Amino acid sequence: MKKFVFSLVSILLLTLTVLPFAFAADAGMETQTAAVKKADDFKDLKDLPQDEKDKFDALIQGGVFNGLTDDTFGLDARMNRAQFAKVAAIIFDLSVDETLTTSSFTDVRSDDPANSYALPYIEALKKAGLTNGYDAEGKTYKPAGDVSRQELAAFLIRGLGMDDQAKSASPVNDNSVDDWAKGYVALALEKNILTNQADGTFGGKVSATRKMLALASYEAKQLFGGSSPDEPATQPGDKPDAPSGEISAQGKKLLLISRQSSQMTQLKDNPDDEKIIKRLKDLGFRVTWINCDKLTAEKMEGYDLIFVSNTLNSKYLRSGIMKDIAIPTVYLKNHGMYYLGLSSQEENTNEYNLKSITITEPKEKAAAGLSGEVDVLITTDPKTAIAYGIPGKEANVIATIPGKPKEATIYYYNKGSHSDSGYEVKARISYFSFAGNYDNATDDTWKLLDALVLWTLQNG
């Protein structure tokens, strides 16, 4: 899985390299949720070479960029540090607290009409160790400031965890690049993240444009979606490989729907989603997460798998938003199954003082090779629960509460099957009981979750 390299370097280097990037140039565009556009909808994109249009399509439809106006992308517009922050946070999967209204930097304000939208993204960069600000004291960020090409190269390389490689790389022989940036530029060129200008020089001090940002961020995101250059994608025994002929999770796009991390104080008995995200990335998925109150059907388009965390607020599923989603989905929340008619009971679906579940179909791939009673919690008490659902007759039940065969802890519906009320399942939908603290989960729990996630991805 990708990792960031947060080595401490001089304040000067941090000042020069840790800059931000984003979609639209103003706050208003950041929050609007219009119909998803394509490159051909923008007059300054439609005549680009097809390979570049494909990249812009991926970024626009993936929610990484909007246009400056309804029909203009703004290819040649300079990007500023505020814009840079938002794109960086997205392509590097940083945790963003969109409820923040105050910043660590004195010049980043929620009442700034041009750059207030970037406040939570700038804070995400700081929290991740990717910026200490603009000035030597770390008091200001300079959100409206331009970003040079060499600064863009340095930030992307650092964000990809290649800082050490850049320091040991043979520096470019290019007078347009400052000495401090020559290793970063050399590596950015080698990895095809950025290219030289038409005159053959890199143009290190030239202000980067939105086109440069978009194409560079696309290439960086492709690298970020794969294995880290200094860390193997897997360790022996860590990740189950897809059997021959089956769909692999490697590189597949997964959307995790959760309750925003800043709200976790409201969920004292529930863990953060970071461990789940790490596990899913270890399986090979390229994970994007979204706060449940921001969820729309359009934002789920283009993903290979949807993963519904047990931390989310169930009311955001009650509207039936998931009813017509034809994407394989894993629910860690029984409410989601209930709202589709795939579980006949909504509330009071917990068993307490219990550590184990019973595998009822050990030959199923989703059973992970386990059988009989399997401990899924390390410890239990009157407040610690194992959750369950009450599935219909067309469900495939893998595990239940011991001695209670109607209380299913792991089950799934195949594509084309029906709930007892007649709802037709559009893609494989699975349920996994995970109501306790993730630190309290046994190794077998994680094995079962891995197996169900990969089985759901097959979409049978």
On whether residue 175 sits in a domain, the answer given is yes
Q: Where are the beta strands (DSSP E) in 309-428?
A: 329-331, 350-352, 356-359, 372-375, 385-387, 396-401, 404-413
Contact status, residue 205 vs residue 176, Cβ threshold 8 Å: yes
What residues form DSSP beta bridges with 78?
209
Mean pLDDT for the chain overall: 81
On whether residue 231 sits in a domain, the answer given is no
328 in the same domain as 367: yes
257 in the same domain as 145: no
198 in the same domain as 310: no
On whether residue 86 sits in a domain, the answer given is yes
On whether residue 2 sits in a domain, the answer given is no
Task: Provide the domain limits for residue 434.
Answer: 253-458
| 25-84 confidence digits (pLDDT tens) | 333 333 333 456 888 889 999 898 888 888 888 888 777 888 888 889 889 988 888 988
374 in the same domain as 261: yes
Q: How far apart are CA 124 and CA 420, in angstroms?
A: 45
158 in the same domain as 69: yes
On whether residue 138 sits in a domain, the answer given is yes
Q: Is 85 helix (H, G, I), strand (E, B) or coil?
A: helix
197 in the same domain as 87: yes
Q: Is 357 helix (H, G, I), strand (E, B) or coil?
A: strand
Confidence of residue 459 (pLDDT cuts 50, 70, 90): very high
259 in the same domain as 196: no
**Number of domains comprising the chain:** 2
| 297-321 confidence digits (pLDDT tens) | 888 888 999 999 988 888 888 888 8
* Phi, psi of 334, rounded to the nearest 5 degrees: -60, -30
173 in the same domain as 264: no
Confidence of residue 12 (pLDDT cuts 50, 70, 90): very low
Q: Which of 157-161, 263-267, 307-311 has the highest mean predicted lDDT (pLDDT)?
A: 307-311
Question: How many CB atoms within 10 Å of residue 246?
Answer: 13
On whether residue 3 sits in a domain, the answer given is no
365 in the same domain as 425: yes
Q: How far apart are CA 349 and CA 351, in angstroms?
A: 7
The helix or strand, by DSSP H or E, that contains position 376, with its residue range, turns out to be none
* Phi, psi of 121, rounded to the nearest 5 degrees: -75, -35
Q: Which of 224, 242, 267 is the last residue of a domain?
A: 224
Contact status, residue 390 vs residue 406, Cβ threshold 8 Å: yes
Confidence of residue 411 (pLDDT cuts 50, 70, 90): very high
* Residue 11 clears pLDDT 70, i.e. is over it: no
Q: How far apart are CA 336 and CA 318, in angstroms?
A: 8
123 in the same domain as 36: yes
Taking the alpha carbons of 327, 332, 337, 338 in that order, is the dihedral positive or negative?
negative
Closest CA to 314 of 341, 329, 336: 336
177 in the same domain as 261: no
CATH number at 427 reads: 3.40.50.880
On whether residue 6 sits in a domain, the answer given is no
309 in the same domain as 197: no
On whether residue 235 sits in a domain, the answer given is no
Q: Which residue has the higher pLDDT, 269 or 347?
A: 347
Q: Provide mean pLDDT across the span 351-358.
A: 92
Q: How far apart are CA 25 and CA 314, in angstroms?
A: 34
Q: Which of 172, 205, 224 is the last residue of a domain?
A: 224
